[in-house]
């Protein structure tokens, strides 16, 4: 089933959720910033962008300076401006919240980074070549950030990307009305222009990883996560039962008019990805989109502003329900059978029990599982020194180093799924960790 | 509700309220002055007229904006009237006939010759106007021709021209003073000696607004060139207030003042009245927002008078003048220190960085954990605590802590810089404390030192 909407409707639905500021709007908003000392917003930002500084630069007609301030700490500052949960980060910590409302830091950050992007401004140069080489597995935010930092330090970098397009989830996994495919690729360009080599269609399996570790001086893993968890229910293998990321990917890899969407879509899960899927389904023309979550609204892990967006789009929510069967007829999905849940006898929120005899069905022609992704454990299965904890690859928080020599990691593979900004920061930390590791091998002399 | 009497009398020029329009572009024509009177202005000083109209240039104005707010200060290179004397006289007569109860004063500037002044005075008073204002203050374009500020900067010329005018004038004569001078009292006394019935001040200040960083031309510019202009607007109010107070407190002057300079809100007008003005004149605020602002000026003045129990202007005009004097008469023993109300603090740190870098390093900063901060909502802790998607967030807290700022009252010198930069009203207050230094003025201190009656005051503690 393809979208029933016209090109114009699709264009409207997928245009900027928050349009870019015009100059006047940006100046009025920038004037609201109090220019705090030891600003809470900077502390709240995982990449510690000097927020008051860039806002004041915008106010004083220096948008190029503002862009440089931002990109110095976060090369994907443009994407973060569009997709960060600013509600709980910089804007959540903003002292103006008690005066007239938080300064719209995200939108101001977009204003500055757009200015730089539109003007093709370049602020960084590769450092003097050190002769050291680093292999980066994965060209998502963590890999790109690590690559950029390493290039500033003068190390040679090659990224190995399994897909035929770079950027990882930044390019493919975020709703287009937050980050367009085009914009995400322009940020990849910023990193490529620093002299980082990006090899597409180059997946890395365990054997290839061993070869990379042997031939490069260090390796960074920005591999993200794998497939969504399986529910192991009857009918789960049907073509109409999708994984969340595949559903979102299609909006970036083909024209919107070619995207598949059902008339009645049910999304299982209530994290931020589930919300993205449900809102995209509505915007692609689904008549009904329902989010079905096995716990209650209080335990929902999606941010409040995302929940609000979904409600405004008309998404319905079914709380405390768990699927038990995907009902098929002639191989096509016609409904999902659910059972209601309640808190387990232990009372702890993680513990959920099915209520006997509470079965009911909800009609649907497309189901999307947004249950979180599983770690890519097989890749690292035989690597000495590497440790996992609850599916997360464990690294030293100061250096990004795994237990294995010369092997570093960052991004979703160490967090089990966090924000772009976290991946960027972990990439930076690992780059510095890699640099220290490499320099232990560099003889200090009269350079 | 008692009725208030807002009538004002400035050297014999009466108006139903103290709000006049200053001699400027808003009082250029009958069309404008009539509409101003319809809006409620008590008086107007007609834009300076002369025997011949001048020619103006374009552009004429520049402004200083402040972090996004427009026109904190305005600068102009416009000259006196560009309309003929006949047209002006006819229109003045017309307006006066239509609004008999409002003060209609006419501003004059002619060549520094006795018979020329005599002629214009007679012709203008024929219109039935209520008074004259002698423009000795225009700082650009006219002073180069020996008029305007060229007269107002030289007490002898001021006195001489005022004498000439007084020889033939039948209505009250106000002399408008320029602030582009080292001590305005000398000219004020000269005008008084010459027979002025009152003084209008301040005229505009010599200024250059700025430079265009793209073209490198001055702002404003006329085909790429500029000239110094007259600065006015909210930015100049403190200069006007100071000069009005100086005139009002000078025992050698003693004639009424019409206060001018940066009046925009009703509070500004009241400040001028308290410092000795019998009426006030407004220009820039009207050029920015229109004649309608007089409603706000009237409303604010009325509410304040009712609150204070004043029934008429004479109840409070000049009341604050005696409290201002020489620095040497200020009490060295008056001690105040700052105090932060933690419940109101938003943890922006502006007081801290101001004191630390720019004053006396008397604010302490300590980190409170986010958990403690959350536990003390409204009580020296967070202003609010919110959750979204299971994540807690609070304004002012991040990275595990919030900054708590406290005044070190042992070393605070009471300069009150912190209270000025704090964005939250009522959050930082200055409180009086007993002082180690005896209550005495600097003059008295010098005296006592000589007599050995007091120890030399020690410098305050410093980091």
Identify which of B348, B383, B393 has the shortest CB distance to residue A36.
B348
Tell me what pLDDT residue B379 has.
Answer: 85
- Residue range B180-230, pLDDT digits in tens: 999 999 999 999 999 999 999 999 999 999 999 999 999 999 999 999 999
- Once rounded to an integer, what is the mean pLDDT over residues B131-160? 85
What percent of chain B has a predicted confidence (pLDDT) above 70? Answer: 99
SS (H, E, C) A51-111: HHHHHHHHHCCCHHHHHHHHHHHCCCHHHHHHHCCCCCCHHHHCHHHHCCCCCCHHHHHHH
Distance from CA of B72 to the nearest CA of A (A): 15
- A40 CB near a chain B CB, below 8 Å? yes
The residues pairing with B107 across neighbouring beta strands, listed in sequence order, are B133
Regarding beta strands A388-389 and A392-393, do their DSSP bridges make them parallel or antiparallel, or are they unpaired?
Answer: antiparallel
Q: What are phi and psi of B124, to 5 degrees?
A: -70, -45
Domains, in order of start, for chain A:
18-118 (1.10.1060.10), 133-226+374-439 (3.50.50.60), 241-369 (3.50.50.60)
- Once rounded to an integer, what is the mean pLDDT over residues A300-313? 94
Regarding beta strands B61-66 and B69-76, do their DSSP bridges make them parallel or antiparallel, or are they unpaired?
Answer: antiparallel
- Once rounded to an integer, what is the mean pLDDT over residues A410-421? 95
What percent of chain B has a predicted confidence (pLDDT) above 90? Answer: 92
Sorted by where each begins, the domain ranges of chain B are 8-323, 328-451
Chain B residues whose CB is inside 8 A of the A302 CB are 389
- Once rounded to an integer, what is the mean pLDDT over residues B263-289? 98
Distance from CA of A308 to the nearest CA of B (A): 11
Q: How far is CA B155 from the centre of its chain?
A: 24
Regarding beta strands B131-135 and B218-219, do their DSSP bridges make them parallel or antiparallel, or are they unpaired?
Answer: unpaired
Chain B residues whose CB is inside 8 A of the A94 CB are 395
Tell me what pLDDT residue A68 has.
Answer: 97
Chain B residues whose CB is inside 8 A of the A88 CB are 388-389, 391, 393
- Once rounded to an integer, what is the mean pLDDT over residues B387-397? 95
Structural domain B328-451, CATH architecture: 2-Layer Sandwich (3.30)
Q: How many residues does chain B have?
A: 463
- Residue range A60-104, pLDDT digits in tens: 999 999 999 999 999 999 999 999 999 999 999 999 999 989 999
Tell me what pLDDT residue B70 has.
Answer: 93
Q: Which ipTM did the prediction report?
A: 0.88
Closest A-chain CA to B398: A44
- Residue range B72-93, pLDDT digits in tens: 999 999 999 999 999 999 999 9
- B384 CB near a chain A CB, below 8 Å? yes
Identify which of A89, A98, A306 has the shortest CB distance to residue B384.
A98
Distance from CA of B401 to the nearest CA of A (A): 9
Tell me what pLDDT residue A344 has.
Answer: 76
Distance from CA of A253 to the nearest CA of B (A): 30
Question: How far is the C-alpha of A423 from the C-alpha of A414, rounded, in Å?
Answer: 9
B8-323 and B328-451 have identical folds:
no
Question: How far is the C-alpha of A400 from the C-alpha of A434, rounded, in Å?
Answer: 8
User: To 10 degrees, the CA torsion angle through A110, A111, A116, A119?
Assistant: 130
The residues pairing with A341 across neighbouring beta strands, listed in sequence order, are A354
- B350 CB near a chain A CB, below 8 Å? yes
Closest A-chain CA to B394: A93
Closest A-chain CA to B390: A301
Closest B-chain CA to A99: B424
Three-state SS at B51: coil
Angle at A334 between CA A330 and CA A336, to 5 degrees: 125
- Give this prediction's pTM: 0.91
Catalytic residue among B129, B138, B345, B355: B138
**DSSP label at A300?**
-
Chain A residues whose CB is inside 8 A of the B350 CB are 34-37
| Cβ atoms of B99 and B128 closer than 8 Å | no
Q: How many CB atoms neighbour CB B436 within 10 A?
A: 9
- Residue range B319-332, pLDDT digits in tens: 999 999 999 999 99
Q: Which of B343, B385, B388, B425 to mutate: most A Cβ within 10 Å? A: B388
Whether B138 is catalytic? yes
Question: How far is the C-alpha of B231 from the C-alpha of B237, rounded, in Å?
Answer: 11
What percent of chain A has a predicted confidence (pLDDT) above 70? Answer: 97
Tell me what pLDDT residue A69 has.
Answer: 97
Structural domain B8-323, CATH architecture: Alpha-Beta Barrel (3.20)
> Which two tokens mark B189?
């006394």
User: Is residue A444 over pLDDT 60?
Assistant: no
């Amino acid at each position: 089933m393809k979208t029933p909407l016209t090109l114009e409707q699709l264009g409207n639905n997928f245009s900027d959720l928050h349009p870019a500021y015009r100059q006047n709007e940006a100046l009025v908003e920038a004037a609201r910033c109090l220019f705090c000392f030891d600003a809470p917003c900077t502390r709240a930002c995982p990449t510690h962008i000097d927020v008051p500084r860039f806002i004041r630069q915008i106010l004083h007609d220096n948008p190029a300076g503002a862009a440089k301030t931002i990109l110095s700490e976060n090369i994907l500052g443009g994407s973060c401006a569009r997709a960060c949960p600013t509600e709980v980060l910089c804007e959540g910590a903003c002292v103006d919240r008690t005066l007239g409302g938080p300064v719209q830091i995200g939108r101001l950050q977009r204003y500055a980074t757009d200015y730089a992007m539109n003007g093709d401004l370049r602020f960084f140069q590769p450092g003097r070549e050190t002769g050291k080489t680093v292999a980066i597995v994965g060209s998502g935010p963590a890999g790109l950030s690590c690559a950029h930092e390493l290039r500033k330090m003068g190390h040679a970098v090659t990224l190995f990307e399994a897909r035929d397009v770079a950027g990882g989830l930044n390019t493919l996994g975020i709703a287009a009305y937050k980050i367009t495919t085009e914009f995400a690729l322009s940020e990849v360009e910023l990193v490529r222009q620093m002299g980082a080599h990006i090899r597409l269609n180059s997946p890395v399996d365990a054997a290839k990883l061993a070869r990379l570790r042997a031939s490069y001086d260090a390796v960074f893993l920005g591999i993200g996560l794998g497939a969504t968890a399986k529910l192991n229910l009857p009918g789960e293998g049907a073509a109409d039962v999708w994984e969340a990321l595949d559903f979102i990917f299609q909006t970036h890899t083909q024209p919107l008019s070619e995207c598949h969407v059902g008339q009645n879509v049910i999304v299982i899960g209530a994290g931020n990805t589930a919300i993205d899927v449900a809102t995209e389904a509505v915007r692609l023309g689904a008549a009904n989109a329902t989010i079905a979550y096995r716990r209650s609204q209080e335990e929902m892990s999606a941010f409040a502003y995302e929940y609000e967006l979904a409600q405004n789009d008309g998404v319905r929510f079914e709380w405390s329900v768990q699927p038990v069967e995907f009902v098929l007829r002639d191989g096509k999905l016609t409904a999902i059978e659910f059972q209601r849940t309640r808190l387990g006898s232990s009372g702890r929120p993680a513990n959920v029990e099915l209520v006997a005899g509470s079965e009911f069905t909800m009609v649907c022609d497309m189901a999307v599982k947004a249950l979180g992704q599983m770690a890519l454990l097989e890749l690292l299965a035989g690597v000495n020194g590497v440790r996992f904890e609850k599916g997360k690859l464990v690294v030293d928080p100061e250096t990004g180093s795994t237990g294995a020599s010369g092997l570093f990691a960052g991004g979703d593979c160490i967090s089990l799924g966090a924000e772009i900004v976290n991946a960027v920061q972990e990439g930076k930390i690992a780059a510095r960790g890699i640099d220290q590791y490499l320099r232990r091998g560099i003889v200090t002399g009269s350079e | 509700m008692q009725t208030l009497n807002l009538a004002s009398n400035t050297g014999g020029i009466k108006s139903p309220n103290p709000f006049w329009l200053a001699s400027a572009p808003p009082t250029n024509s009958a069309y404008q002055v009539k509409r101003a009177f319809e809006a409620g202005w008590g008086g107007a000083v007609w834009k300076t007229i002369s025997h011949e109209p001048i020619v103006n240039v374009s552009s004429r104005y520049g402004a200083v904006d402040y972090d996004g707010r427009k026109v904190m200060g305005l600068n102009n290179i416009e000259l006196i009237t560009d309309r003929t004397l006949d047209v002006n006289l006819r229109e003045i007569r017309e307006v006066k006939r239509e609004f008999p109860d409002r003060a209609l004063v006419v501003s004059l500037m002619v060549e520094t010759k006795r018979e020329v002044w005599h002629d214009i005075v007679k012709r203008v008073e024929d219109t039935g106007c209520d008074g004259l204002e002698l423009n000795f203050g225009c700082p650009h374009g006219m002073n180069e021709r020996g008029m305007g500020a060229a007269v107002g900067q030289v007490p002898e010329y001021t006195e001489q021209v005022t004498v000439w005018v007084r020889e033939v004038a039948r209505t009250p004569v106000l002399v408008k003073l320029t602030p582009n001078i080292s001590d305005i009292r000398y000219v004020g006394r000269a005008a008084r000696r010459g027979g002025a019935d009152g003084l209008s001040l301040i005229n505009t200040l010599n200024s250059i607004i700025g430079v265009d960083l793209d073209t490198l031309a001055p702002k404003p510019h006329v085909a790429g060139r500029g000239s110094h202009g007259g600065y006015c607007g909210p930015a100049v109010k403190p200069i006007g207030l100071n000069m009005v107070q100086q005139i009002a407190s000078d025992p050698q002057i003693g004639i009424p003042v019409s206060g001018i300079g940066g009046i925009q809100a009703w509070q500004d007008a009241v400040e001028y009245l308290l410092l000795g003005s019998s009426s006030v004149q407004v220009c820039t605020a009207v050029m920015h927002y229109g004649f309608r602002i007089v409603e706000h000026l009237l409303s604010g003045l009325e509410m304040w008078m009712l609150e204070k129990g004043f029934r008429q202007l004479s109840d409070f005009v000049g009341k604050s003048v005696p409290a201002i004097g020489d620095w040497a008469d200020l009490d060295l023993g008056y001690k105040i220190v700052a105090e932060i109300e933690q419940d109101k603090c938003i943890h922006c740190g502006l007081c801290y960085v101001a004191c630390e870098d720019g004053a006396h390093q008397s604010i302490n900063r300590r980190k409170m954990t986010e958990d403690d901060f959350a536990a003390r909502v409204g009580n020296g802790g967070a202003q609010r605590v919110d959750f979204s998607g299971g994540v807690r967030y609070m304004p002012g807290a991040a990275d595990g802590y919030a900054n708590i700022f406290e005044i070190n009252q042992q070393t605070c010198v009471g300069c009150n810089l912190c209270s000025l930069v704090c964005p939250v009203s009522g959050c930082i207050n200055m409180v009086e404390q007993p002082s180690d230094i005896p209550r005495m003025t600097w003059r008295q201190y010098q005296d006592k030192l000589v007599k050995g009656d007091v120890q030399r005051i020690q410098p305050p503690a410093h980091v």
